[in-house]
Amino acid sequence: MSGLIQIPIFVADASAGAATEKFLSFLSDYKIIGAKLINNGAIAADGTNYARIKVLGNDKATIAFEWSTKDDAEGALSDEVAVSLADKKSGKEILTAGTALKFEVTKHGSGKQLDACVMLQLELARSYA
Q: In sequence order, what DSSP letters do the residues of 49-73 get, joined into one string?
A: SEEEEEEE-TTSSSEEEEEE-BTTT
pTM for this entry: 0.88
Structural domains for the chain: 4-123 (2.60.120)
Please give the pLDDT value at position 46.
Answer: 95
Please give the pLDDT value at position 1.
Answer: 45
pLDDT (tens, 9 = 90+) of the chain, 129 residues, equals 466 788 888 876 667 777 888 899 889 999 999 999 999 889 999 999 999 999 999 999 999 999 999 999 999 999 999 999 999 999 999 999 998 899 998 888 887 878 888 999 999 987 655
Distance between CA atoms of residues 40 and 112, nearest Å: 12
**Spatial CA neighbour of 119 closest among 53, 37, 61:** 37
Q: Which residues contact 70 (CB under 8 A, 6 or more apart)?
A: 45, 46, 47, 50, 52, 108
Please give the pLDDT value at position 19.
Answer: 81
Distance between CA atoms of residues 67 and 73, nearest Å: 8
Please give the pLDDT value at position 128.
Answer: 54
For residues 81 and 10, the answer to whether their CB atoms sit within 8 Å is no
Please give the pLDDT value at position 86.
Answer: 95
Strand partners, 22: 103
Q: Which residues contact 80 (CB under 8 A, 6 or more apart)?
A: 38, 39, 40
Please give the pLDDT value at position 20.
Answer: 85
Please give the pLDDT value at position 111.
Answer: 76
Please give the pLDDT value at position 88.
Answer: 95
Range 74-84 burial, b when 16+ CB lie within 10 A, else e? bbebeeeeebe
